[in-house]
């Protein structure tokens, strides 16, 4: 057996092994959901922000987001503080994902302007829709911000 034959045989074995390993990773039917809302008009109180509206993409997709600062006041300066976040995402007319989590809101140096990030997992999501048991795979993220020109938000996660 020459080195060339042995190398070709080894490469074929490795390739076959990789093919077998790669196939189950794509067989699970994982769907990515990534919805963003731009130019929303926020409802601000001393310690919370609420926004709702249509998301970019397919018609009929909506997002409602409520962020409540746990200390009762919006972040000031460039300080960060804990926040409770509740979001309701309707990617289609017959599907609803309700997410309740906590995260962190950070001031942007201007009164009333801040951004927030809140991670969540499958235990923090309730699903209602035709696919009776859609489950979040891994972690998801809710990101939102309020600027002088309005608010924006995004929700991203994967389901199986």
pLDDT digits (tens, 9 = 90+) for 102-155: 999 999 999 889 999 999 999 999 999 987 777 899 999 999 999 999 999 999
Residue 62 and residue 155 in contact, taking contact as beta carbons nearer than 8 Å: no
Mean pLDDT of 53-77: 93
Residue 95 and residue 127 in contact, taking contact as beta carbons nearer than 8 Å: yes
Residue 97 and residue 127 in contact, taking contact as beta carbons nearer than 8 Å: yes
Q: How far apart are CA 93 and CA 13, in angstroms?
A: 48
Per-residue pLDDT, 15: 37
DSSP conformation letters of 99-155: EEEEEEEEE-SSTT-EEEEEEE-GGGEEEESSSTT--EEEEEEEEEEEETTEEEEEE
Q: How far apart are CA 23 and CA 85, in angstroms?
A: 37
pTM of the model: 0.80
Closest CA to 118 of 104, 107, 106: 104
Complete domains list, the chain, with CATH: 29-159 (2.40.350)
């Amino acid at each position: 057996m020459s080195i060339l034959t042995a190398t070709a045989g080894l490469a074929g074995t490795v390739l076959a092994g990789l093919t077998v390993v790669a196939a189950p990773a794509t067989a699970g039917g994982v769907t990515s959901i990534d919805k963003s809302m731009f130019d929303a008009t926020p409802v601000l109180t001393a310690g919370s922000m609420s926004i709702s509206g249509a998301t970019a993409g397919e018609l009929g997709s909506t997002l409602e987001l409520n962020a409540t600062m746990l200390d009762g006041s919006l972040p000031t300066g460039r300080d960060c503080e804990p926040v409770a976040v509740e979001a309701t995402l309707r990617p289609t007319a017959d599907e609803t994902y309700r997410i309740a989590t906590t995260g962190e809101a950070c001031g942007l140096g201007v009164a009333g302007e801040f951004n927030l990030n809140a991670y969540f997992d499958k235990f923090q999501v309730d699903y209602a829709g035709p696919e009776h048991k859609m489950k979040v795979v891994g972690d998801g993220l809710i990101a939102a911000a309020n600027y002088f020109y309005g608010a924006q938000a995004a929700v991203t996660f994967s389901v199986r």
